[in-house]
Amino acid sequence: MSLDAGSGDLPATGGGGNGAVPGGDPSRPPAPSVAAPVAVATVAMTSQQRLRLNPNNDHKPDSYDDLQLDFSPAIFSSLERYLPPSMLGVSRDDKVKFMREILLKYLPHGERNRAQRHREYRQKIISNYQPLHRDIYSMHPSAFFVPTFLKAINESTEESFRNIMSEPSPGVFTFEMFQPRFCELLLSEVENFEDWVNEVRFRIMRPNTMNKYGAVLDDFGLETMLDKLLEGFVRPISKVFFPEVGGSTLDSHHGFVVEYGKDRDVDLGFHVDDSEVTLNVCLGKQFSGGELFFRGTRCDKHVNTGTHSEEIFDFSHVPGRAVLHRGRHRHGARATTSGHRINLLLWCRSSIFREMKKYQKDFSSWCGECSREKKERQQQSVVSTRSELLRREGESTA
């Protein structure tokens, strides 16, 4: 049996082309990149009343390779053959302007196509892949989690969470979460999935633009279970510790595993996640190295600013133990120097927070740099008020 993702539009890997920076000196971090999930940018080109119905194959289109455009240069070149005859003689800039307007108009349609293709991709996997451990495809809290974690979730108070957690650096929470047996089953299921992928030569989509190894759990049937994990177990904690970044309104997720070691990804460059809150749990196995390094939380505008000394924090993974942090908390993973390390990642998102963020400029409640700027403004205002008072006093006693 040989299966393929089909149309050829699905990338085999994330490409990793968005500036992942391996190694380097994390005390002076390079510009972080956003590790975004692999997206397939397509544009639907149907029923354009202003374009020709059939391409003019005699026409030789311009090259758009040298321009910074929001669509692939190849799309402009191929679309050019469909331009009305009157447009063929105009300048390249005018052609770009005309075609861009058309493309933008159809973007939502293209997005719909992308979603539809992803649904078909998942359907193809789910109808052909035979799960090994069906038990982990639905939520069984007492089998998945350690009792201390369950107790804290049942109480769901800051105190109950603090009792089982440590916060070794502001905004980074670590705690025992999964039972060893659950980690084993999940690892074994992932291995089974990968064996199947290799056996039938299925071209899979990798978890994000920075990891070349690993698998999206949502794509092979675990989406419902991970939804429950988000709603019942991550949101209650995030509501308490991350309310300022939408922690109480987390409503969607991207769940995947990443693999590090020999013949896998070695390390992971400095970056921020495409999430409001990230749950990162080490599932095993035997390894050394692979520490996470954190360097402060930043808004979009300040993502490339320097690190303050109190923001420097390194964390060593322990199998079964979870790390919870804001997605905008800049971080990376050092090289896994021996063995294999596999981690479960749940990127948790809030659509409400994302919508609200568009209308805000000040993120001093969570961005280290916005907060520093705000303090500076306040200090300056105190200084100027004081000097104004002194000046008036001087006038009145003169």
CB of 370 to Zn ion, least distance (A): 3
Q: Is 348 in the site for Zn ion (CB under 5 A)?
A: no
Give the tokens for residue 208.
Answer: 């994000």
Q: In whole angstroms, what is the distance from residue 87 CA to residue 85 CA?
A: 5
Q: In whole angstroms, what is the distance from residue 324 CA to residue 167 CA?
A: 10
Q: Is 370 in the site for Zn ion (CB under 5 A)?
A: yes
Residue 225 or 299 having the CB closest to Zn ion: 299
Q: Is 299 in the site for Zn ion (CB under 5 A)?
A: yes
The count of C-alpha atoms lying within 13 angstroms of the C-alpha of 76, restricted to the half-sphere facing its C-beta, is 24
Q: Is 302 in the site for Zn ion (CB under 5 A)?
A: yes
CB of 276 to Zn ion, least distance (A): 15
Q: Which residues of 132-155 are buried (b: 16+ CB within 10 A; e: fewer)?
A: beeebeebeeeebbbeebbebbee
> Given the DSSP bridges, would you call strands 292-297 and 172-176 parallel, antiparallel or unpaired?
unpaired
Which among 7-15, 286-294, 322-330, 365-373 is the span making contact with Zn ion, rule CB under 5 A? 365-373
Which among 66-74, 77-85, 183-191, 366-374 is the span making contact with Zn ion, rule CB under 5 A? 366-374
Residue 112 or 301 having the CB closest to Zn ion: 301
Which among 73-81, 119-127, 154-162, 298-306 is the span making contact with Zn ion, rule CB under 5 A? 298-306
Select from 177, 225, 245, 367 the one that contacts Zn ion (CB under 5 A).
367
DSSP 265: B
Which among 46-54, 204-212, 313-321, 358-366 is the span making contact with Zn ion, rule CB under 5 A? 358-366
Torsion of CA 322, 250, 109, 57, to 10 degrees: -30
Binding mask 145-174 for Zn ion (x = CB under 5 A): ------------------------------
Q: Is 330 in the site for Zn ion (CB under 5 A)?
A: no
Q: How far is CA 50 from CA 43, 47, 84, 251, in A?
A: 16, 9, 7, 40
Residue 121 or 363 having the CB closest to Zn ion: 363
Which among 68-76, 319-327, 363-371, 374-382 is the span making contact with Zn ion, rule CB under 5 A? 363-371
Residues 6/183, Cβ–Cβ less than 8 Å: no
Residues 327/273, Cβ–Cβ less than 8 Å: yes
CB of 301 to Zn ion, least distance (A): 5
Residues 10/205, Cβ–Cβ less than 8 Å: yes
DSSP 182: H
The residue behind tokens 């749950």 is 279
CA 305 to chain CA centroid, Å, is: 20
Which among 106-114, 173-181, 245-253, 361-369 is the span making contact with Zn ion, rule CB under 5 A? 361-369
Q: In whole angstroms, what is the distance from residue 361 CA to residue 291 CA?
A: 33
CB of 381 to Zn ion, least distance (A): 19
Q: How many residues bind Zn ion (CB under 5 A)?
A: 6
Q: In whole angstroms, what is the distance from residue 257 CA to residue 48 CA?
A: 42
CB of 298 to Zn ion, least distance (A): 6
Residue 329 carries which side chain, given as an amino acid letter?
H
Q: Is 205 in the site for Zn ion (CB under 5 A)?
A: no
Q: Is 311 in the site for Zn ion (CB under 5 A)?
A: no
Residue 56 or 371 having the CB closest to Zn ion: 371
Q: Is 369 in the site for Zn ion (CB under 5 A)?
A: yes
Residue 51 or 299 having the CB closest to Zn ion: 299
Residue 3 carries which side chain, given as an amino acid letter?
L
Q: Is 272 in the site for Zn ion (CB under 5 A)?
A: no
Residue 367 carries which side chain, given as an amino acid letter?
C
**Chain residues that interact with Zn ion, rule: CB under 5 A:** 299, 302, 363, 367, 369-370
